[in-house]
Structure 1
């Protein structure tokens, strides 16, 4: 390869590196931060209390097993609110689905088993019969 060819390859690699750096330098505006205790657009969120009260546990994807004891469980994350730091398994009372393309199903058992309660995109409400009896949730694309 001649000098001109080497310079073209170097310039192409430098440009690609600059694009990659820009793409990873900062998160996109309005991007949700999962597991920060704030229910944001694009997330599925549990609340410790009925009617969306208390500490929040927010997710950006499915979880097959919440775990039931610290330190190995998913917990409520909003400091200063009732439920903060407690494991969510069997402690959630209400939920919001702030995703736009996912149906989220909350299951009675771990590994997506047993009775479930469905939250369509934008759906919210108390967990009904699964309040205090929830162990996993799964995401399904809206059909």
Structure 2
């Protein structure tokens, strides 16, 4: 009887090990661009650093053309890929009525988007964007009209958690 129990336990352990080896680990993907426009100069850009005296931003940035309900990131529908949003370098110019802002490779590249933003430039000619203190579009907010930009208010400076495209 002990031999049958030992054989059953061994078989069960082998089956469990096989199943465990089939289940994939979570992959982590880093994104600094969720802008779907062909011409990236029309994107909403969130910058790591504040604007200069002329209102132009030149630092690592995050590009978007959509609402993002959590600046930390998102899980894929099947849960196997975790996308983390971060500041990056694209070499991209962003249009605004303040002049051209530029995403540059500088300190801040690779830093998390959530709670690290200082300024924005809205190159989107069709919609305003609102930056929020909390995830899911809640809390203190600041709205940027089309083709505008500037520094985030003190309550949002390095306290950004989501943004919404209005339009």
Q: CA RMSD in A?
A: 2.3
Equivalent residue, structure 2, for 1:133? 159
Q: From the two aligned structures, give the one with the greater helix fraction.
A: 1
CA contact (8 A) 2:67 2:165 kept: yes
- In the superposition, relative to structure 1, how do residues 113 and 45 fare at CA in structure 2: closer, same or farther (>3 Å)? same
**Deviations 1:59-106 (CA, angstroms, capped at 9, x unpaired):** 1111000117xx642100117311000101110100000001111000
Equivalent residue, structure 1, for 2:115? 90
2:138 counterpart (113, 131, 143): 113
User: Structure 2: which 5+ runs fail to align?
Assistant: 1-31, 52-56, 74-81, 90-103
Q: From the two aligned structures, give the one with the greater strand fraction.
A: 2
Q: Name segments (4+ residues, structure 1) moved above 6 Å.
A: none
TM-score normalised over the length of structure 2: 0.57
SS at match of 1:41: helix
SS at match of 1:106: strand
| Greater C-alpha Rg | 2
CA contact (8 A) 1:44 1:58 kept: yes
Query: How far has the Cα of 1:44 moved from its partner?
Result: 0.5
Distance in 2, Cα, partners of 1:36 & 1:138: 13
How many residue pairs get aligned? The number is 105
User: Structure 1: which 5+ runs fail to align?
Assistant: 1-33
